[in-house]
Amino acid sequence: MYDWFKKMRKESPVYYDGEVWNVFTYNDCKLILNDFKRFSSAMTDYNEKLPDLRSGKITFAVPTRYTMLTSDPPLHDELRGMTSNFFNPANLRQLEGFIRETVDNLISNLDNEFDVIESIAVPLPVIIISKLLGIESDVKKIKEWSDIVALRLGKPTEIFRIGKKYLELINFSKNVINSRKGEKGDDITSVIANSNLSDVEKRGYLILLMIAGNETTTNLIGNAIEDLTIFKQWDYIRKNGGLKAVEEALRYSPPVMRTARITKEKVNIGGKEIEEGELIRVWIASANRDESVFNNPDDFIPDRSPNPHLSFGSGIHLCLGAPLARLEAKILLEELSRKMEITDIIEKEKIENEILNGYKKLVVKGKKLDTNKLN
């Protein structure tokens, strides 16, 4: 796809495909992401139904339609502000020891040949977000629910084909929220349960964090391990740490290929007139390879600086959990580099989704290292 992105950036950077507009350059993508007043995230009827939700007139609805991802200010700011403190870097430092302990436990169970996704990339984010939410970390069940929602992004009608499993997810969120009402817990779920949100919104909020907290981080971890192996950069991690390499993995192999906005008024982008109410696909993966912003954009450069990629978005919708995802990936890559020498990728299977960018399976080969010699 990257060859197509390069072609589109050069020949047709703002392109109408007969259904929606597509934007490919870094500057245009960032402009759209930053300008919420003209380019809205309100893809559902959340704002319109808010009075009925809050007054209790609506008691049954699809909760994942009513989240901060599908809202604009001031509603968006209200929702984000409820839990943003949990995800700021200062507070996440208190979680670092637990993350490192979890990583060590996962790595200690690895053989010389293992599936990165099943062994590390899936369980780590699920365990960590469950800790923050204050819920039981049932890795298999939460991953199953995540796939139900996340892998159907861009395929809205498919949600009705898996109704039983989706209802199971909704009932889980309902029961957890109800069990925390009236409690003054210090976990995210207790904050949500005792907020002024409607019950539908509370379920949507919990499901969003439970899923967004692991699906994209799973992709980040798998993609980063693939990149470091292909480009033989594990020694860089051992010597310099994982901070900059995580950013380069985010740029080079973004966990999410694109997002979308809807125009709130007539706009001009790249010389193209776009009417009010039009859908725009913002191709993050293309923006991250824009030659006008990144030198040698098709090369994986672990110490690239500056690295203003758009993989976590930009503006008010900058990913709430970005600091947590970065911390998890950094610790994992550093510990993995210290304890294993990953040499080859044996087998891989991509996720079949045009929005999410990651693997169902990523089997690698390596060998355990003597950590005493590295210290």
Residue 261, C-beta contacts closer than 8 angstroms, at least 6 positions apart: 32, 33, 39, 40, 41, 279, 280, 282
Query: Using CA atoms, how far apart are residues 265 and 278, in angstroms rounded to an integer?
Result: 9
Query: Using CA atoms, how far apart are residues 190 and 202, in angstroms rounded to an integer?
Result: 10
Query: Is a pLDDT exceeding 70 seen at residue 312?
Result: yes
User: Domains in the chain, please, with CATH?
Assistant: 2-374 (1.10.630.10)
The two tokens of residue 27 are: 């500057």
Percent of the chain at pLDDT > 70 equals 95
pLDDT (tens digit per residue) in 154-210: 455 555 555 677 888 889 999 999 999 998 888 999 999 999 999 999 999 999 998
Instruction: Output the pLDDT for position 354.
Output: 85
Query: Using CA atoms, how far apart are residues 26 and 287, in angstroms rounded to an integer?
Result: 4
Instruction: Output the pLDDT for position 40.
Output: 97
The whole-number average pLDDT for the span 208-213 is 84
Instruction: Output the pLDDT for position 359.
Output: 96
pLDDT (tens digit per residue) in 13-56: 999 999 999 999 999 999 999 999 999 999 999 999 999 999 99
Instruction: Output the pLDDT for position 162.
Output: 56
Instruction: Output the pLDDT for position 55.
Output: 93
Instruction: Output the pLDDT for position 299.
Output: 97
Query: Is a pLDDT exceeding 80 seen at residue 212?
Result: no
Query: Using CA atoms, how far apart are residues 317 and 320, in angstroms rounded to an integer?
Result: 8
Instruction: Output the pLDDT for position 368.
Output: 87
Instruction: Output the pLDDT for position 301.
Output: 98
Q: How far is CA 182 from CA 79, 136, 190, in A?
A: 20, 20, 8
**Weakest mean pLDDT among 39-43, 97-101, 133-137, 221-225:** 133-137
Query: Using CA atoms, how far apart are residues 212 and 129, in angstroms rounded to an integer?
Result: 9
* pLDDT bucket at 138, cuts 50 / 70 / 90: confident
Question: 267 versus 185: which is more confidently predicted?
Answer: 267
